[in-house]
């Protein structure tokens, strides 16, 4: 297979360093060209939360399907209440009671009232609901103590959802309340985009399984659980291959999984134990390797068969950053979700200057202090806790030397 880009990435660059780095925007363009929404599938109503609609949903019913009472009270003819007050109580005759769902109804004529509950259908003949608080009832007599105008306290048929209305549009990531609306219009399953299956491989002979106590010269896998949560956030189904040793056969074997996307954490660079890029170049297509950014410069990406493969540096901050710039974008696109970052963005003033080298993009973790942006001093890629101490990050573009104190910058909030 051939790559779309002309980087030196096609050669085995191990231990010789990257001879050139691809610009972030080129790598993003590669992802954008490779990842399109997956095919649609039918999913039952109860499992639709978080799923992405593949088709518009149009209601073929009115909700409510009948004019309904918005208050507990009496269905009456408004004209019968004209002039009523506590000093001029007007008498009506109670001809019946309608309980919700009873299906019962009565024809209301002048001088009559029907007891009615919130949500029940307005009986024919009535044109208003007299709330219980504005009436006194005794046996078959109802005394009106206040006027109601025609239409008062009546919810009209179709006022919530009118038949023919597009209730939700394709691309919508369904919220819990959307399930309520779908159910209310009689939808028991919907056509949604299949969720991408994402295989997570954490490579490194020094790694202990996630959650175990670090011991000796071994460290505990931090990237597995983080990536798994990121994949879920972006609409994918994560599965983990666990810890994979720095062994080409083991890595290739783990990459060849039944997945749409493979995330390889660690071994993405050009060291002696970094095998992933060479494997991809040999058995698939290594499209990008080495990116002009900090952190994450040793990141890479390509294809192995039909799978999109992302090589994420093992340093946890780089791993997070490379995921968010490239892998997350691919997963969201496959899942049919917006390609925008799932972070809120805000404009704030810098407390201190933020320096950056021209020629590479910088991902600077920052804190918000008294409404101003404070760059986090310890910003090495291995300091994962810099991301938990941070409130968000600022992206300094390639052509910028950074920003002076006092400058307004755009902050992405974690």
In angstroms, the Cα distances linking 257 to 31, 243, 260, 304, 307 are 20, 15, 9, 10, 9
Q: Minimum distance between the CB of residue 219 and Mg ion, rounded to whole angstroms?
A: 10
- Residue from 123, 267, 295, 392 in contact with Mg ion (CB under 5 A): 267
267 contributes a contact to ligand AMP by CB under 6 A: yes
Find the binding residues for Mg ion in span 312-331 (CB under 5 A): 314
271 Cβ contact partners less than 8 Å away, ≥ 6 residues apart: 14, 15
**By CB neighbour count within 10 A (0-12 exposed, 13-18 middle, 19+ buried), where does 42 fall?**
exposed
Q: Measured from the CB atom, is 101 or 271 closer to ligand AMP?
A: 271
Helix axes 276-283, 248-255, angle to 10 degrees: 60
Q: Minimum distance between the CB of residue 296 and Mg ion, rounded to whole angstroms?
A: 15
Query: Which region, judged by CB under 6 A, interacts with ligand AMP, from 126-134, 214-222, 342-350, 371-379?
Result: 214-222
300 contributes a contact to ligand AMP by CB under 6 A: no
Q: Measured from the CB atom, is 247 or 401 closer to Mg ion?
A: 247
Q: Minimum distance between the CB of residue 193 and ligand AMP, rounded to whole angstroms?
A: 29
Taking alpha carbons only, the member of 365, 374, 356 closest to residue 317 is 365
Token match 């972006």: residue?
A: 234
Instruction: Give CA–CA dist 391/411, Å, rounded.
Output: 9
Query: Which region, judged by CB under 6 A, interacts with ligand AMP, from 55-63, 143-151, 267-275, 370-378?
Result: 267-275
73 contributes a contact to ligand AMP by CB under 6 A: no
219 contributes a contact to ligand AMP by CB under 6 A: yes
Q: Minimum distance between the CB of residue 174 and ligand AMP, rounded to whole angstroms?
A: 33
Q: Minimum distance between the CB of residue 244 and ligand AMP, rounded to whole angstroms?
A: 10
Sign of CA dihedral 131, 133, 134, 136: positive
Bridge pairing between strands 344-350 and 372-375 = parallel
Taking alpha carbons only, the member of 172, 257, 222 closest to residue 388 is 222
Find the binding residues for ligand AMP in span 307-346 (CB under 6 A): 313-316
Q: Measured from the CB atom, is 185 or 251 closer to Mg ion?
A: 251
In angstroms, the Cα distances linking 112 to 78, 88, 109, 122, 170 are 11, 17, 6, 14, 49
Segments in 223-375 forming alpha helices (H) = 223-233, 248-255, 276-283, 316-322, 328-334
Instruction: Give CA–CA dist 58/406, Å, rounded.
Output: 50
Cα Rg of the chain (Å, integer): 32
Q: Measured from the CB atom, is 113 or 252 closer to Mg ion?
A: 252
* Interaction pattern, residues 221-240, with ligand AMP; x per rule: CB under 6 A: xxx-----------------
Query: Which region, judged by CB under 6 A, interacts with ligand AMP, from 96-104, 119-127, 189-197, 219-227?
Result: 219-227
266 contributes a contact to Mg ion by CB under 5 A: yes
Q: Minimum distance between the CB of residue 43 and ligand AMP, rounded to whole angstroms?
A: 33
Q: Which residues bind Mg ion (CB under 5 A)?
A: 204, 266-267, 314
Q: Which residues bind ligand AMP (CB under 6 A)?
A: 202, 204, 206-207, 219, 221-223, 265-269, 271, 313-316, 382
């Amino acid at each position: 297979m051939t790559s779309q880009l002309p980087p030196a990435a096609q050669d085995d660059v191990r231990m010789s360093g990257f001879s050139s780095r691809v610009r972030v925007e080129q790598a993003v363009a590669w992802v954008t060209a490779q990842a399109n929404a997956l095919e649609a599938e039918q999913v039952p109503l109860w499992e639709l939360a978080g799923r992405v609609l593949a088709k518009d949903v149009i209601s073929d019913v009115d909700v409510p399907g009948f004019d309904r009472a918005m208050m507990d009270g009496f269905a009456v003819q408004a004209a019968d209440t004209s002039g009523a007050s506590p000093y001029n109580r007007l008498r009506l005759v109670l001809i019946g009671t309608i309980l919700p769902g009873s299906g019962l109804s009565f024809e209301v004529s002048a001088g009559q009232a029907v007891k009615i509950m919130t949500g029940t259908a307005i009986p024919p003949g009535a044109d208003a609901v007299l709330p219980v608080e504005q009436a006194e009832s005794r046996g078959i007599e109802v005394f009106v103590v206040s006027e109601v105008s025609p239409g008062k306290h009546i919810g009209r048929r179709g006022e919530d959802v009118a038949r023919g209305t597009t209730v939700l549009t394709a691309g919508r990531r369904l919220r819990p309340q959307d399930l309520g609306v779908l159910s209310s219009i009689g939808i028991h399953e919907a056509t949604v985009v299949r969720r991408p299956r994402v295989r997570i491989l954490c490579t490194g002979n020094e790694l202990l399984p996630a959650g175990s106590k670090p011991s000796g010269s071994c460290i505990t896998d931090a990237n597995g659980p983080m990536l798994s949560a990121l994949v879920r956030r972006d609409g994918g189904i994560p599965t983990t291959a666990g810890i994979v040793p720095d062994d080409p056969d083991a890595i290739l074997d783990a990459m060849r999984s039944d997945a749409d996307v493979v995330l390889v954490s660690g071994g993405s660079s050009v060291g002696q134990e970094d095998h992933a890029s060479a494997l991809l170049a040999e058995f698939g297509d290594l499209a990008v390797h080495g990116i002009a950014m900090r952190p994450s410069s040793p990141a890479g990406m390509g294809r192995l068969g039909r799978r999109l493969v992302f090589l994420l540096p093992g340093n946890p901050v780089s791993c997070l950053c490379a995921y968010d710039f490239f892998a997350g974008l691919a997963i969201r696109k496959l899942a049919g979700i917006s390609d925008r970052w799932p972070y809120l963005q805000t404009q704030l003033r810098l407390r201190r200057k933020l320096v950056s080298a021209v020629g590479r993009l910088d991902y600077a973790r920052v804190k918000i202090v008294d409404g101003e942006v404070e760059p986090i001093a310890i910003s090495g890629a291995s300091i994962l806790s810099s991301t938990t101490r941070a409130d968000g990050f600022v992206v300094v573009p390639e052509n910028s030397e950074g920003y002076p104190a006092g400058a307004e910058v755009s902050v992405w909030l974690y």
